[in-house]
Structure 1
């Protein structure tokens, strides 16, 4: 069931990712138009999809539509479900070498038979606008210039939009994936939060969640985090998305205790796509030798 988009019956204020993402997309579109006018080149994002998983097909279509609205050309590369890791690597290597492609997105999961890490590493770092390579991960870990994993990057932008300063706060991240849980924890640490990583096998998870001033839920289990465990006044970022528009947090009960909370959908999801588009534009500017805003 879709979660309510009104805060009339809630104590928490909703963090409207759709509105924040729209502002980012508008700025990206203006920059893209300026880049094309100056260089004659159109920023291009290549999307690679292995197989026809319905959810992945939907996600890719959504991203391509947002590209078009932002003045970014989308080159879609659909591959059969039987594509091997070697064939996928060859495709990504060719796109990395193509000067007309500025960013590459490999939609994941790519399939249980694919070595995703090997595939990700075939993406040229300067075109890794989804922030999935080891080089991007290292840049996030050391707070160096590079591309952020899009969902963690979107979460940080959403916190900034709502004036949530992580400095000195206790941040609890529930989830440890290489493209979400781990990097968002590193980003919070770089902003002077005290970070605790948890996951589905953490013992006495509830007691740790209760300490969180900022909670990021990214475990991929519907309503895994119970509302009763939310610290009063906490900021709750639900990065989960499960069938039925259900997040990883028990929304209604959590909203009665939190000060800020993201809805599902309409919270983290739009921010992920906005950051992807913005980083594609960043990549295009760098590859074409244009200073941002010049």
Structure 2
């Protein structure tokens, strides 16, 4: 089953549009961007279009060339005053300390649940990609409880938050990273979540027949987005998310779910 992420996202937007009408107030979502990167701009355009359809104003700050960590923190603090929630578009330029910058996002405005100084159980929302992973499993009838689950990669956007949320839902989760686990672990997994950023890294021989394979890895090569799974894995998997068009559109919709959740919790 190849997942149509755009169709799922469209269904989510129907519910989000109704929630937006009920909020009945002006909403602003801040976004900070560092450097010039066509892939990042593509992601930002997608988020901006989603904001427009939900009547959310995007407030954008582009960090100047050569910006340092202090400049990034100042931008975050400014948006915290002006907006209802904040996105720090990653990656940031190498001159900026990402950890310190993300730590400046107020908990109540952290739409990506990405502030590294806040314990997992204290974030008021879950990371959008993790929510997208769980939404895909839910819509395909895959209950994570007691399922052998391997998360490939432990990054702050995909691997780490997906592992946390799936554990909360009762999955038996293990990580495969440079520091722990092995690619052989995937052979016995009922659910595999990919977020390592290595195009075509996972091949059909690495997975078992009938696995739910959720590919949230995204790498741009010569202007083309590619996932961590070889597309031929779709022939073996029960659930397979293509890149692009799989997890991405759903994760963007979840940003706005989180925005509305944060606003409602105030």
Matches of 1:277 and 1:176 in 2, distance apart? Answer: 24
Matches of 1:200 and 1:266 in 2, distance apart? Answer: 28
Within a 5 Å distance, the mapping from 1:47-62 to structure 2 comes to 47-62=31-46
1:33 and 1:71 in contact (8 A); partners too: no
Residues 54, 116 of structure 1: alpha-carbon distance in 2 compared, 3 angstrom cutoff: same
Match of 1:134 in 2: 116
Asked whether 1:155 is paired with 2:137, we answer no
Within a 5 Å distance, the mapping from 1:208-219 to structure 2 comes to 208-219=185-196
1:93 and 1:122 in contact (8 A); partners too: yes
How far does the alpha carbon of each residue in 1:117-147 deviate from its partner, in whole angstroms, 9 at most, with x for none?
11111111100001111355x23xx3x6612
1:283, distance to aligned residue in structure 2 (A): 1.7
2:175 and 2:181 in contact (8 A); partners too: no
Task: Compute the TM-score of the two structures, normalised by the length of structure 2.
Answer: 0.93
Match of 2:265 in 1: 286
Asked whether 1:247 is paired with 2:227, we answer yes
Unaligned runs of 5+ in 1: 1-12, 288-294
Secondary structure of 1:164's counterpart equals coil
Asked whether 1:19 is paired with 2:3, we answer no
1:64, distance to aligned residue in structure 2 (A): 0.9
Matches of 1:108 and 1:145 in 2, distance apart? Answer: 19
1:215 and 1:236 in contact (8 A); partners too: yes
Q: More relative contact order in 1 or in 2 (CA 8 Å, sep 6+)? A: 1
**What is the aligned counterpart of 1:29 among 17, 25, 28?**
17
1:44 and 1:280 in contact (8 A); partners too: no
Unaligned runs of 5+ in 2: none
Match of 1:172 in 2: 150
Within a 5 Å distance, the mapping from 1:214-225 to structure 2 comes to 214-225=191-202
Match of 1:4 in 2: none
**What is the aligned counterpart of 1:114 among 90, 96, 99?**
96
Residues 46, 263 of structure 1: alpha-carbon distance in 2 compared, 3 angstrom cutoff: same
Residues 56, 145 of structure 1: alpha-carbon distance in 2 compared, 3 angstrom cutoff: closer
1:203, distance to aligned residue in structure 2 (A): 6.6
Asked whether 1:234 is paired with 2:211, we answer yes
Match of 2:253 in 1: 274
RMSD: 1.6
1:231 and 1:257 in contact (8 A); partners too: yes
Give 1 or 2 for the bigger CA radius of gyration.
1
Residues 281, 196 of structure 1: alpha-carbon distance in 2 compared, 3 angstrom cutoff: same
Within a 5 Å distance, the mapping from 1:182-193 to structure 2 comes to 182-193=160-171
Matches of 1:194 and 1:148 in 2, distance apart? Answer: 19
Match of 1:292 in 2: none
